[in-house]
Amino acid sequence: MSIFAYAPAPESRAVVDIASSYGLFIDGEFRPAAEDKVFPTHSPATEEQLSEVAHAGAADVDAAVRAARAAFGPWSALPGSERATYLFRIARILQERSRELAVLESLDNGKPIRESRDVDLPLAAAHFFYYAGWADKLAHAGFGPDPRPLGVAGQVIPWNFPLLMLAWKVAPALATGNTVVLKPAETTPLSALFFADVCRQAQLPPGVVNILTGDGSTGAELVAHPGIDKVAFTGSTEVGRSIARTVAGTRKRLTLELGGKAANIVFDDAPIDQAVEGIVNGIFFNQGHVCCAGSRLLVQESVREELLEALKRRMETLRVGDPLDKNTDIGAINSAEQLARIQELAAAGEAEGAERWSPAGCELPGQGYWFAPTLFTGVAQSHRIAREEIFGPVLSVLTFRTPEEAVAKANNTAYGLSAGIWTEKGSRILWMADKLRAGVVWANTFNKFDPSSPFGGYKESGFGREGGRHGLEAYLDV
């Protein structure tokens, strides 16, 4: 234990007022589910019940889609500058209420307040700000002089960045003139419901944004509903596949942002201290609940020992615990189900012969769902932990000898969302970037996001891009 132990520094919960129950947000009003079904949402850090939310069924999906359809005509007919005004208002309100929403997000999701405060909320607001600017500039976006919206978008988002993924879906859809029915993840419904209140403060016309809470069955009803024109999904590759089957044969447009198994490739001339930070950020950011996480470390054999030593030393300083503590680096695993999956894959790693390591003395809280930051060495391409997305704080270390071998191993996956390259040599970065079959390539950095930068995958990581000028295309009839 350090002689300079940090005292607890919890962010105040008083900034957020969570009601004991929430309805569905349809046509500008909160209402109970038609069948009156509800389900609880918990803090994964304490297992405390935070609230009870409505469980939308088929009738609710239908009502929401009708509301969105009714709103579509007037909304899409507004001058772009007026849609922009609403979106700028939303951006500003998100900035104003960012601390409240950050605390809420950390409570419901389990992520550290440092990340919800410094990453999720600023990026969510920036995303609205960016797409607000496009709303009156669509003629300049390269999709023709007067690109038209698609209609009603059914959007299903994951639990890892609840509000940020909402922003990625809602902002471009609204900017281009679509209306939306959005379903947040079952385990993290609250920030979307607070977003409904943000829409009310912004005086967004009723029906433009509708929010349905529920589980996978609600999402399935939504994507299958004949009244929607567009499906946008972020989540697992398995669910993405079934959605692709559902929309097959319909006129619905589809974009999918799915899983990943990114390689983070470290050459012997890398800036080593920053590479270590990038590896840590790549896999332990947001407890590893990141589709583009750098979950496979590919390190050049000549620097393997040096790098692993530095990485382990750095991992020993990671602070795991209360998500609301301002000094926490790694928070809670989002759900018991996810924890079980991580545990199962980690056990498979050991069973298949990889060597497992976690920092000694990493104490996990007794309540809630937790998993210590974990490193596997001696991993082979054939191991499950090198192939399957773990979606947790587990890093698999492999080695390579030449750039060609690094590329071959990096691309040897069904996924293709992201990749990282660490070297001081510029021409090699560009050569590697050229060869890597991944939608985002980070060089000497990792897990960087910006509203102006397109994001999305190759292969089974999905299709379509979110963010940037490219992100408009998914919501335009082009």
Binding interface with another protein (CB under 8 A): 2-9, 81, 84-85, 88, 114, 118, 126, 129-130, 132-137, 140-142, 269-274, 277-278, 317, 326-327, 403, 424, 426-428, 430-431, 434, 444-445, 451-452, 468-469
For 206, the token pair is 């009723």
> Cβ atoms within 10 A of the Cβ of 209, count?
33
Closer Cβ to another protein, 23 or 331, answer by number: 331
DSSP secondary structure letter of residue 27: T
Q: Give the H or E element holding residue 88.
A: helix 80-96
The dihedral through the CA atoms of 154, 98, 278, 321 has a sign that is negative
For 438, the token pair is 């991944």
Short-list 360, 406, 358, 409, CA closest to 382: 409
Catalytic pick among 257, 460, 466, 473: 257
- 394 three-state secondary structure: strand
Closer Cβ to another protein, 153 or 429, answer by number: 429
CA 1 – CA 11 distance, rounded (Å): 24
Strands (E), 13-62: 21-22, 24-26, 29-31, 38-42, 49-54
Distance in Å, CB of 95 to another protein, minimum: 9
* 100 catalytically annotated: no
CA 105 – CA 44 distance, rounded (Å): 11
Contacts of 215 (CB under 8 A, 6+ apart): 39, 55, 186
Distance in Å, CB of 19 to another protein, minimum: 29
CA 259 – CA 388 distance, rounded (Å): 9
Closer Cβ to another protein, 27 or 473, answer by number: 473
Amino acid at 277: E
For 333, the token pair is 């695993």
Distance in Å, CB of 68 to another protein, minimum: 25
Short-list 418, 432, 409, CA closest to 298: 409
CA 294 – CA 466 distance, rounded (Å): 20
Closer Cβ to another protein, 141 or 308, answer by number: 141
Distance in Å, CB of 209 to another protein, minimum: 21
Distance in Å, CB of 3 to another protein, minimum: 5
Contacts of 405 (CB under 8 A, 6+ apart): none
Closer Cβ to another protein, 86 or 391, answer by number: 86
Distance in Å, CB of 344 to another protein, minimum: 32
Active site residues: 257
